[in-house]
Structure 1
Amino acid sequence: MALENSAFTCLPESLSLPVSEKVEDPEEKSTEDDPPAGLFNVSEELGHVVTTETASPPKPPANNSRSFQDKMAAREAQANQHRKKVQGAGQERGKFGWGRSRRKRQRYVEKNGRCNVQHGNMRETYRYLTDIFTTLVDLNWRCSLFVFVMAYAVTWLFFGAIWYLIAYCRGDLDHLEDENWTPCVNNVNGFISAFLFSIETETTIGYGHRVITDQCPVGTMLLLLQAILGSMVNAFMVGCMFVKISQPNKRAETLVFSRNAVISLRDDRLCLMFRVGDLRSSHIVGANMRAKLIKSKQTQEGEFIPLDQTDISVGFETGDDRLFLVSPLVISHEIDARSPFWDMSQAQLEKEDFEIVVILEGMVEATGMTCQARSSYLAEEVLWGHRFSPMMSLAEGFFDVDYSAFHHTFEVDTPSCSAHELSLAAARLDAHLYWSISSRLDEEKWEGPSLNNQPGKETHTQPTIGKEEGGPTFTVGGVTETQDQSGQGEQNGSITTDQSESEA
């Protein structure tokens, strides 16, 4: 049942006070930063309007015979006043009109989805080494590339040094010109050549210039060991890089959320709504939406929970949280008795300090990997009495989506009271309508001809009690009713008759 907005009280609009125009001095030109005399500053603190009268600064004398110190003091005063005006643009006015900086809430989740949490004083850091693969995958690209390069460089240098040590211990470096000497590795005449042979062995290049001989069993064992370890290093590092490249984190960049959330009526119920869309043509399979309210809480036992998480239902019971994200959708949370916003009105919303975290999960159609996109809305990013603009139109043979209106909202008539007060008002309206219908039925029952036209009985009528002229009249029995009884009967929505009439 639709409710008229006139039945609810709204917030007072901004006050407009008369401001006297300032007459410019023809000799001394005033700056725009000087406030006119008698100007009232209208500030708002905790929902109350406070008016304070500020005294206008004294005007500089009109004569040009001022001292140098007076001119410098006047310039410094104007500069300080201009600086206060620029800095005070993002400040709210406190008590007695003094400006104060508004405390900005620290986000738990940034707008781009990054969680603003840092872990410190962790003593069990060895747990990172037990899962070295995930640790390497979680590193940023700079560190990952550094580890990738160093893994190959260290193994090449390590085995190159061993090959050089074998050649040095066997005396191959002392018989370089001896044709009758059989070295362990042909054409290894220093560390550089040993290092090149290590690279050729591990990468299986095999140029054929440096070859191991059958007169070196130690070299044969080292060749097998390097080939096995080289394959393991290749598999490990290439696997890390492949997983890091194929991570669906960048897929979440094309999942966009609206800059603001809105609260307005939908089917005569207050709803919290935000918009989500996918910029790619490939879809998210099995998209699922969740929402959390992050707010400080103190339990009944006195325990303080700084970041308490409360679930916000976006259709889990009805299955509306499972999305078919082909076009942008407006996600709606109905503010009912189970909602954390049940007792929150428009005036209270401006004083609250909370954060709404929205999470979209799904599987990437191209790769089959799970993707998650996150965003958040602070209390000042929730617009009361707004609605999202439509962005879809029907073109020739297809539906056209205009993403230029994705973040656009417009104002609509919305009661400023809370959803709890709105439901109480609707219940009172329903109760009033119910009793009105019952009274009409009683009127039709008692005004019928059955009581007036009964054969063998004479009825005496008396004028209407407690009714104006032209209104409906009530017929009572032969016993005259008193004024108090008739008034009480009308208040109860029924007709009071005497016991003798009921017996008759």
Structure 2
Amino acid sequence: MLSRKGLVPEDYLLTRLAEDVLAPRFKPVQRKARFVAKNGSCNVAHTNIREQGRFLQDVFTTLVDLKWLHTLVIFTMSFLCSWFLFGMVWWLVAFAHGDLDRRRDDFVPCVTDIHSFSSAFLFSIEVQVTIGFGARMVTEECLSAIVVLILQNIVGLVINAIMLGCIFMKTAQANRRAETLIFSKHAVISPRNGKLCFMVRVGDLRKSMIISATVRMQVVKKTTTDEGEVVPLDQIDLQLDNPVGTNGIFLVSPLVICHVIDRTSPLYELSEQDLQSDSIEVIVVLEGVVETTGITTQARTSYLSEEVLWGQRFVPTVSEEDGIYAVDYSKFGKTVKVATPSCSAKRLEECMLLPILLEKLVHFTLACSATSKKKSISPQCKLYK
């Protein structure tokens, strides 16, 4: 891993390389299975799929989704099988025309210098790979040989187009760009602008930008509807605090993505103690268009309850040095403790509203006592009563 070599700090995780580290000898017992792994892969197994033929209807996508070993095996076998098949066809053409046992000097074969199946196989390779023949070449004696020549060239072009296109797509997949999109190892909950907020940090290690970058957050947890239906993976969106009004970001330097825990948030009634006991998972999705290729890419990660730090915030990573802004990635995942109430956002809001309500109550009481001396009841007193 890059972090073990000193190239990448251990305070943040690469989206695709996060799980390549050596596993500890004794793994901690997780209270909840991840829906999305730290490296972005989805922990979902598709079973009992009966209509397997649907995958063959889209052969190209199926080949792209295969592992590299399987793709290389199919790539090699497709050429070997086509060479062997057309080698057999060329041998049959030569055998039917009598090219293998010709005796006259003025005999014109269909294909010159074919004496056995080995020479027919070599000629098949020459036809499919290049048209620049050596001693073996097709003559105008046989129409069938010309037809086979045309068919093999067409088949060879189709195989080249499919297999080379498949390998190109596998090497230029959009998830490769996501290797340099990073997330903080932990999420934090702390006050910001007087409100309790859930925050994570995202960054991009490359200088080439992600155009139209957007960030989305979702809470995945087990819920039960009013009718008693159990939803094992209920996905609830989290509204992000963005002055623009959208989830779009300008990802030039590391950014702290903030979700204000308000009345509409599923974390509204979550306290520090509840965070340790509840099994929730927050999924963060970063997607955008790669500037150099124009391909849409997506990076994902998730945070379980034990990966959320209560009462901490991220330290700054950007500083101005010699007229430029320098980003110190060694501070990317570092946090500091801040004064944070351990109660939920709902309880905190009630505590903040209590002095206001008491002040209004005193104001109404004084207003009513003043009007009672005048033997007249004001509209405010009527409303208060």
TM-score for both structures, normalised by structure 1: 0.66
What aligned pairs does 1:38-437 form with structure 2 within 5 A after superposition? 103-175=30-102, 178-315=104-241, 318-435=244-361
1:155 and 1:494 map into 2 onto residues whose CA distance is 102
Which one scores higher on RCO, CA 8 angstroms, separation ≥ 6?
2
Post-superposition offset of 1:206: 2.1
1:395 and 1:341 map into 2 onto residues whose CA distance is 39
Contact 1:261–1:382 (Cα < 8 Å) also in 2: yes
2:346 and 2:205 map into 1 onto residues whose CA distance is 38
Post-superposition offset of 1:171: 2.1
2:283 and 2:52 map into 1 onto residues whose CA distance is 30
The 1:498/1:170 distance shift into structure 2, 3 A limit, reads: closer
1:425 and 1:247 map into 2 onto residues whose CA distance is 51
1:386 and 1:302 map into 2 onto residues whose CA distance is 37
Q: What's 1:452 paired with?
A: none
1:429 and 1:149 map into 2 onto residues whose CA distance is 77
> 3-state SS of the aligned residue for 1:296?
strand
Q: What's 2:17 paired with?
A: none
The 1:420/1:492 distance shift into structure 2, 3 A limit, reads: farther
Post-superposition offset of 1:116: 1.2
Q: What does the per-residue CA deviation read over 1:29-51, in whole Å, with 9 as the maximum and x for residues that have no partner?
A: xxxxxxxxxxxxxxxxxxxxxxx
Post-superposition offset of 1:434: 3.9
Post-superposition offset of 1:356: 0.7
1:218 and 1:350 map into 2 onto residues whose CA distance is 78
1:390 and 1:490 map into 2 onto residues whose CA distance is 50
The 1:205/1:343 distance shift into structure 2, 3 A limit, reads: same
Q: What's 2:5 paired with?
A: none
The 1:121/1:148 distance shift into structure 2, 3 A limit, reads: same
Post-superposition offset of 1:120: 1.3
2:78 and 2:368 map into 1 onto residues whose CA distance is 90
2:239 and 2:201 map into 1 onto residues whose CA distance is 15
Contact 2:31–2:279 (Cα < 8 Å) also in 1: no
1:239 and 1:354 map into 2 onto residues whose CA distance is 42
1:368 and 1:490 map into 2 onto residues whose CA distance is 68
Post-superposition offset of 1:492: 6.8
> What letter corresponds to residue 143 of structure 1 in structure 2?
H
Contact 1:136–1:240 (Cα < 8 Å) also in 2: yes
Q: What's 1:74 paired with?
A: none
> 3-state SS of the aligned residue for 2:33?
coil
The 1:288/1:499 distance shift into structure 2, 3 A limit, reads: closer
Q: What's 2:379 paired with?
A: none
Q: What does the per-residue CA deviation read over 1:125-170, in whole Å, with 9 as the maximum and x for residues that have no partner?
A: 1001111111111112111111111111111111011001111222
> 3-state SS of the aligned residue for 1:344?
coil
1:498 and 1:243 map into 2 onto residues whose CA distance is 86
Question: Which one is further off, 177-186 or 196-205?
Answer: 177-186
The 1:374/1:302 distance shift into structure 2, 3 A limit, reads: same
> What letter corresponds to residue 398 of structure 1 in structure 2?
I
> What letter corresponds to residue 72 of structure 2 in structure 1?
L
Structure 1: gaps spanning 5 or more residues: 1-85, 91-101, 440-488
2:191 and 2:274 map into 1 onto residues whose CA distance is 18
2:369 and 2:321 map into 1 onto residues whose CA distance is 58
Contact 2:182–2:203 (Cα < 8 Å) also in 1: yes
> 3-state SS of the aligned residue for 2:288?
strand
> What letter corresponds to residue 405 of structure 1 in structure 2?
K
1:141 and 1:128 map into 2 onto residues whose CA distance is 18
1:373 and 1:244 map into 2 onto residues whose CA distance is 17
2:30 and 2:142 map into 1 onto residues whose CA distance is 76
> 3-state SS of the aligned residue for 2:319?
strand
> 3-state SS of the aligned residue for 1:174?
coil
The number of residues matched between the two structures is 352
Q: What's 1:46 paired with?
A: none
> What letter corresponds to residue 200 of structure 1 in structure 2?
E
Q: What percentage of residue pairs aligned between the two structures are identical?
A: 46
Post-superposition offset of 1:420: 0.8
Q: What does the per-residue CA deviation read over 1:371-418, in whole Å, with 9 as the maximum and x for residues that have no partner?
A: 000000001111111100111111001011100011111111001111
> What letter corresponds to residue 98 of structure 2 in structure 1?
G
Structure 2: gaps spanning 5 or more residues: 1-24, 377-385
2:289 and 2:43 map into 1 onto residues whose CA distance is 25
> What letter corresponds to residue 267 of structure 2 in structure 1?
F
TM-align CA RMSD? 2.3
Q: What does the per-residue CA deviation read over 1:172-220, in whole Å, with 9 as the maximum and x for residues that have no partner?
A: 2112x64232221100111111111111111224233101111111111
Q: What's 2:20 paired with?
A: none
1:354 and 1:334 map into 2 onto residues whose CA distance is 17
